[in-house]
Amino acid sequence: MLPQSYDWPLFLTDDGISRFITELLLNKQRKELLPVKAAFEKSYGADKKVNVFTKVRMATAADAALSRYFAENIEEIEGWINIISPQNKAISVLKQELFALSNKDWEEIYS
């Protein structure tokens, strides 16, 4: 029933959430990921003013750092996610849809 109700539900596994937090938010050795940590803290800290770390809005530097991290670690990260595909659609269709979304001019769309 779930595949007919939604397009491509993606679920982070418990291990995926743990690895994301450990690698991207708590690891102080990875300087290239500091923008991710900063955006998260700005969005969810005690002095939060505006969210810049959500599925809809992402700080530009955090987005760039995440995109690089995901590109460099795609095989590992694919293991963090459970995907329920719509009936009769292969995962390659999801990748095509995500690629099309990533090529939109989001700054222009949201301005």
Number of other CB atoms surrounding residue 105 within 10 Å: 8
Task: Give the whole-angstrom CA distance, residue 86 versus residue 65.
Answer: 30
Helix or strand run (H / E) with residue 81: strand 81-83
Q: Is the dihedral of CA 34, 37, 40, 46 positive or negative?
A: negative
Strand partners, 58: 53
Res. 6 pLDDT band, cuts 50 70 90: low
| pLDDT per position as a tens digit, 42-101 | 888 788 888 888 888 899 999 999 999 999 998 898 889 888 877 778 778 888 888 888
Comparison of pLDDT for 54 and 35, the residue scoring more: 35
How far is Cα of residue 100 from the mean position of the Cα atoms in its chain? 16
By residue range, what is the domain housing residue 95? Answer: 2-109
Number of domains in the chain: 1
Which residues 6+ apart lie within 8 Å of 84 measured at CB? 2, 3, 6, 8, 9, 11
Q: Are 82 and 11 contacting, i.e. CB atoms less than 8 angstroms apart?
A: yes
